[in-house]
């Protein structure tokens, strides 16, 4: 059987499974559409959270970025797991006790202001939309490479899939389809990692095998004139690495589509256990990812660098066709040379360009694993992109229909009208995100990092202070959210190279991925100061803040 | 002060102490050990590779998971001790 047929089979079977579940769980009331009637046990809820959470950034992009960053790639690994500690101890139990469906609803009630709610809804849409755009690019890369169609059509194929079952299934469908998607993506990530680990070291556990391979990789890299793979701060400054880590952590804790997952359990206790299971399932991938990075880099250098271009392997040719892998024989010796610097820079001796976003997909081919493994990896990459996209589309839909349409535009809208707005919002978001998928502002993992920076700068301070500081006022929260997201978005837009304005990093040389931390500090300070300068919140709100400290009487989340 | 209120204050204080302890460990393994001590730790070998590198890319993740587990277990005990659980 050829590779093409294996891939079609894997994609067809897994999608059949997801759509089957979505149809089986089809719901028609708004409450079910948003949070599945709160009947999901923590084990499955944790698994769904992990599936929701781990996107094309984690699955397709991250290991490739780490492979080129070396030690510094730890910022993605620590940032995207450490955030769960913040989420679990600072936010989840209290938000669950507070019992509102969405983050904007929480903000609106806690800050006794529908303006605050609308500001939060706008932030939620901005964050989620940036994130979805990254997923569309990820899905597009997968489709275009393996169906051998241009990247634009790849993105269109991805958009169609997402729109279809997000609109059809609603949250109940999404919760259980996400459990299925998690199962598919984790299998797809671990099988090739174990296969390559066995090939390179004879040991089956990638987590145990990768440090010794990293030591070998160090020697190869030093031979080629690079710094050692395991040496810190060779690509980014220490400050930048730390700020990016912090932005990703606080962004995790402020991400609306992750927070909403904690409402799908019945109790505060259940919300705590959801966190435990979620990080367990996430860590399975995140502890394997650095191993995949080391293996992929090692195999890449081992199989092509210093070889004759004429004799390049089959996978090299197919990726060349997509334009995501390039070779330029600068010294005309017919040998593939790999050296520090960019291939397109004439001053550099480097003759090879590899887009980091293809490393995970190309990895099993480079290692010569069987075709069915490659097919599973493709199915896993799609599962990752689509599961996260559907969770985020739900946030966009609920923010626009619940928090803006029903609260502001038409308070007495019927359930039917509200659902209609929700579905329309999803389709609109899919279409816009598709455009950004065709014209991407940065690599998938980086675009997603921007979304986290925006979340950290807008939601994290308002939610944490809202829970722990009864004196925080609506004026403080609104000022903080607006200042944080405006500063961060402005910096990303002006500095990120893919967007086209391309200013130098004008704030202490900080990269656009790390600026969210600065935006967040700004927001914390402003929220705190403005709160002290404005009249205190009404007594019933201060009492409410006291009440969410104790789990008793959490009941069902309130829909309004 | 009513006995119920006293129990609640004790519960909240216990919660805050736990949060401070867990977040201190979180900060140590998220920032101090990987980024400030990592370069120095790289002189030691673990599993055949540099130790600082291993902690930054693998070790800290295990610690994060243990922190969340400890939080869930401890809070359930606090809920029972102060009788504020569901």
Minimum mean pLDDT range among A92-96, A281-285, A299-303, A513-517: A92-96
Structure-token pair, residue A277? 């299971």
CB count in 10 Å sphere of residue A489 = 21
* Chain A nearest C-alpha distance from B20 (Å): 10
Q: To which H or E segment does residue A78 belong?
A: helix A74-86
Is B39 in CB contact (< 8 Å) with chain A?
yes
Q: Are the beta carbons of B19 and A89 separated by less than 8 Å?
A: yes
Q: Is residue A252 within 8 Å of A89, Cβ to Cβ?
A: no
Contacts of residue B5, defined as CB under 8 A and 6 or more positions apart, other chains included, come to none
Residue A40: alpha-carbon gap to chain centroid: 23
Q: Are the beta carbons of B84 and A551 separated by less than 8 Å?
A: yes
Q: Dump pLDDT digits (tens) for B23-69.
A: 999 999 999 999 999 999 999 999 999 999 999 999 999 999 999 99
Is B7 in CB contact (< 8 Å) with chain A?
no
Q: Is residue A64 within 8 Å of A381, Cβ to Cβ?
A: no
Name the burial class of residue A237, with classes exposed (0-12), middle (13-18) and buried (19+) by CB atoms within 10 angstroms of its CB. middle
Q: Which of B65, B8, B57, B80 is nearest to A87 (CA)?
A: B65
Q: What is the pLDDT of residue A554?
A: 62
Structure-token pair, residue B29? 């393994």
Distance CA A66, CA A292 (A): 9
Q: What is the pLDDT of residue A76?
A: 96
Give ∠ CA A84-A89-A92 in degrees, rounded to 5: 75
Distance CA A8, CA A15 (A): 10
Pick the CATH number of A3-300+365-444 from 3.30.420.40, 3.40.50.2300, 1.20.1730.10, 2.60.40.10: 1.20.1730.10
Q: Dump pLDDT digits (tens) for A162-171.
A: 777 666 654 4
Name the burial class of residue A75, with classes exposed (0-12), middle (13-18) and buried (19+) by CB atoms within 10 angstroms of its CB. buried
Give the CA count within 13 Å in the CB-facing half-sphere of A83: 27
Q: What is the pLDDT of residue A34?
A: 47
Name the burial class of residue A372, with classes exposed (0-12), middle (13-18) and buried (19+) by CB atoms within 10 angstroms of its CB. middle
H runs (alpha helix) in B28-59: 38-41, 51-54
Q: What is the pLDDT of residue A172?
A: 47
Q: Is residue A188 within 8 Å of A51, Cβ to Cβ?
A: no
- What backbone phi and psi angles, to 5 degrees, belong to A483? -65, -45
* Chain A nearest C-alpha distance from B53 (Å): 6
Mean residue pLDDT of chain A comes to 87
Is the per-residue pLDDT at A173 higher than 70?
no
CB count in 10 Å sphere of residue A334 = 11
Model ipTM over 0.85: yes
Q: Which of A159, A248, A182, A206 is nearest to A363 (CA)?
A: A206
Q: Which of A247, A214, A188, A254 is nearest to A56 (CA)?
A: A188
Q: What is the pLDDT of residue B2?
A: 63
Q: What is the pLDDT of residue A436?
A: 86
Q: What is the pLDDT of residue A108?
A: 92
Is the per-residue pLDDT at A556 higher than 60?
no
Q: Is residue A353 within 8 Å of A368, Cβ to Cβ?
A: no
Distance CA B70, CA A273 (A): 11
Can you give the residue ranges of every domain in chain B? 3-81
Residue A231: alpha-carbon gap to chain centroid: 26
What does the buried/exposed string (b/e) look like for A245-265 if buried means 16 or more CB atoms within 10 Å of the residue's CB? bbbbbbbbbbbbbbbbbbbbb
- Choose among B8, B65, B86: nearest Cβ to A268: B86
In the block, residue with structure tokens 């279409």: A431
Confidence band for A26, pLDDT divided at 50, 70 and 90: low
Q: Are the beta carbons of A215 and B50 separated by less than 8 Å?
A: yes
Is the per-residue pLDDT at A559 higher than 50?
no
In sequence order, what are the beta bridge partners of A326?
A353
Q: What is the pLDDT of residue A45?
A: 86
Give the CA count within 13 Å in the CB-facing half-sphere of A517: 19
Structure-token pair, residue A558? 């309130």
Give the CA count within 13 Å in the CB-facing half-sphere of A389: 36
Q: Are the beta carbons of A241 and B35 separated by less than 8 Å?
A: yes
In sequence order, what are the beta bridge partners of A354?
A325
Q: Is residue A55 within 8 Å of A446, Cβ to Cβ?
A: no
Can you give the residue ranges of every domain in chain A? 3-300+365-444
Distance CA A74, CA B38 (A): 11
Q: What is the pLDDT of residue A1?
A: 59
Q: To the nearest whole percent, how much of chain A has pLDDT over 90? A: 49
Q: Dump pLDDT digits (tens) for A291-347.
A: 999 999 999 999 999 999 999 998 898 888 777 889 999 999 999 999 998 898 888
In sequence order, what are the beta bridge partners of A335?
A308
Name every chain A residue with its beta carbon within 8 A of the beta carbon of B58: 77, 207, 210, 287, 290
Q: Dump pLDDT digits (tens) for A503-551.
A: 888 888 899 999 999 999 999 999 999 999 999 999 999 999 998 888 8
* Chain B nearest C-alpha distance from A94 (Å): 12
In the block, residue with structure tokens 């890319």: B57
Contacts of residue B70, defined as CB under 8 A and 6 or more positions apart, other chains included, come to B22
Is B68 in CB contact (< 8 Å) with chain A?
yes
Is the per-residue pLDDT at A27 higher than 70?
no
Q: Are the beta carbons of A78 and B60 separated by less than 8 Å?
A: yes
For residues A95-114, average pLDDT:
86
Distance CA A232, CA B42 (A): 9
Q: What is the pLDDT of residue A196?
A: 95
* Chain A nearest C-alpha distance from B46 (Å): 8
Is the per-residue pLDDT at A96 higher than 70?
yes
- What backbone phi and psi angles, to 5 degrees, belong to A105? -65, -40
- What backbone phi and psi angles, to 5 degrees, belong to A15? -70, -35
3-class state of residue A297 by DSSP: helix
Q: What is the pLDDT of residue B15?
A: 93
Is B46 in CB contact (< 8 Å) with chain A?
yes
Is the per-residue pLDDT at A37 higher than 60?
no
Structure-token pair, residue A457? 């700068």
Minimum mean pLDDT range among A181-185, A268-272, B68-72: A268-272
Q: What is the pLDDT of residue A233?
A: 94
Distance CA A475, CA A485 (A): 16
Q: Which of A438, A433, A432, A398 is nearest to A418 (CA)?
A: A398
For residues A57-79, average pLDDT:
94
Q: What is the pLDDT of residue A167?
A: 67
Is the entire prediction scored with pTM above 0.90?
yes
Q: What is the pLDDT of residue A171?
A: 45
Counted residue by residue, chain B has a size of 86
Q: Is residue A86 within 8 Å of A250, Cβ to Cβ?
A: yes
Query: Which residue in A has a C-alpha nearest to residue B62's C-alpha?
Result: A283
* Chain A nearest C-alpha distance from B64 (Å): 6
Is the per-residue pLDDT at A458 higher than 70?
yes
In sequence order, what are the beta bridge partners of A353?
A326
Q: What is the pLDDT of residue A557?
A: 54
Query: Which residue in B has a C-alpha nearest to residue A242's C-alpha?
Result: B31
Q: Are the beta carbons of B35 and A90 separated by less than 8 Å?
A: no
Q: What is the pLDDT of residue A57?
A: 87
Q: Are the beta carbons of B38 and A71 separated by less than 8 Å?
A: yes
DSSP string covering A355-388: -GGGHHHHHHHHTT--HHHHHHHHHHHHHHHHHH
Q: Are the beta carbons of A211 and B47 separated by less than 8 Å?
A: yes
């Amino acid at each position: 059987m050829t590779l093409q047929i294996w891939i079609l089979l894997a994609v067809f079977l897994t999608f059949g499974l997801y759509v089957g579940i979505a149809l089986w769980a089809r719901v028609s009331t708004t409450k079910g559409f948003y949070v599945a009637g709160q009947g999901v046990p923590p084990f499955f809820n944790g698994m769904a959270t992990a599936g929701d959470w781990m996107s094309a950034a984690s699955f397709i992009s991250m290991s490739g970025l780490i492979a080129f960053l070396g030690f510094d790639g730890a910022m993605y690994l620590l940032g995207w797991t450490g955030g769960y500690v913040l989420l679990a101890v600072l936010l989840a139990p209290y938000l669950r006790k507070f019992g509102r469906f969405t983050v904007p609803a929480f903000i609106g009630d806690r800050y006794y202001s529908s303006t605050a709610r609308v500001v939060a809804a706008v932030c939620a849409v901005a964050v989620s939309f940036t994130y979805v755009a990254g997923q569309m690019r990820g899905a597009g890369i997968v489709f275009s490479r393996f169906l051998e169609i241009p990247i634009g059509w790849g993105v269109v194929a991805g958009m169609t899939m997402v729109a279809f079952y997000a609109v059809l299934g609603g949250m109940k469908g999404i919760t259980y389809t996400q459990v299925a998607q998690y199962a598919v993506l984790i299998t797809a990530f671990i099988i090739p990692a174990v296969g390559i680990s066995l090939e390179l070291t004879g040991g089956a556990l990638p987590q145990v095998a990768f440090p010794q391979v990293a030591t070998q990789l160090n020697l190869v890299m030093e031979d080629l004139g690079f710094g050692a793979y395991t040496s810190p701060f060779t690509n980014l400054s220490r400050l930048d690495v730390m700020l990016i880590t912090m932005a990703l952590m606080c962004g995790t804790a402020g991400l609306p589509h992750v927070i909403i997952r904690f409402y799908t359990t019945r109790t505060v206790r259940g919300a705590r256990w959801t966190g435990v299971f979620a990080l367990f399932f996430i860590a399975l991938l995140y502890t394997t990812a650095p191993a995949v990075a080391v293996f992929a880099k090692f195999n890449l250098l081992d199989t092509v660098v210093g070889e004759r271009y004429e004799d390049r392997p089959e996978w090299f040719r197919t990726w060349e066709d997509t334009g995501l892998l390039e070779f330029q024989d600068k010294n005309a010796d017919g040998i593939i040379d790999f050296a520090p610097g960019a291939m397109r820079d004439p001053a550099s001796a480097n003759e090879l360009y590899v887009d980091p976003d293809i490393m995970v997909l190309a990895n099993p081919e480079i290692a010569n694993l069987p075709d069915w493994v490659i097919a599973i990896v493709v199915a896993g990459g799609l599962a990752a992109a689509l599961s996260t996209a559907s969770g985020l589309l739900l946030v966009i839909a609920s923010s626009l229909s619940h928090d803006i349409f029903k609260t502001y535009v038409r308070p007495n809208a019927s359930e039917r009208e509200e659902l209609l707005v929700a579905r329309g919002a999803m389709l609109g978001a899919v279409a816009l995100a598709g455009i950004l998928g065709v014209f991407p502002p940065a690599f998938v993992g980086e675009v997603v990092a921007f979304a986290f920076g925006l979340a950290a700068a807008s939601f994290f301070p308002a939610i944490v202070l809202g829970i722990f500081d009864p004196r925080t006022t609506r004026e403080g929260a609104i000022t903080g959210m607006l200042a944080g997201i405006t500063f961060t978005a402005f910096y990303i837009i002006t500095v990120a190279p893919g967007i086209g304005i391309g200013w130098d990093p004008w704030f202490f040389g900080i990269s656009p991925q790390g600026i969210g931390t600065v935006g967040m500090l700004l927001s914390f300070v402003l929220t705190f100061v403005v709160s002290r300068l404005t009249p205190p919140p009404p007594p019933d709100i201060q009492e409410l803040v006291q009440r969410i400290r104790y789990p008793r009487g959490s009941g069902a989340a309130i829909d309004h | 002060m009513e006995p119920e209120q006293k129990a609640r204050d004790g519960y909240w204080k216990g919660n805050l102490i736990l949060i401070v302890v867990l977040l201190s460990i979180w900060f140590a393994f998220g920032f101090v050990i990987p980024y400030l001590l990592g370069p120095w730790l790289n002189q030691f070998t673990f599993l055949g590779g540099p130790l600082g590198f291993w902690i930054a890319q693998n070790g800290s993740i295990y610690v994060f998971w243990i922190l969340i587990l400890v939080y869930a277990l401890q809070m359930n005990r606090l809920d029972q001790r102060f009788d504020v659980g569901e």
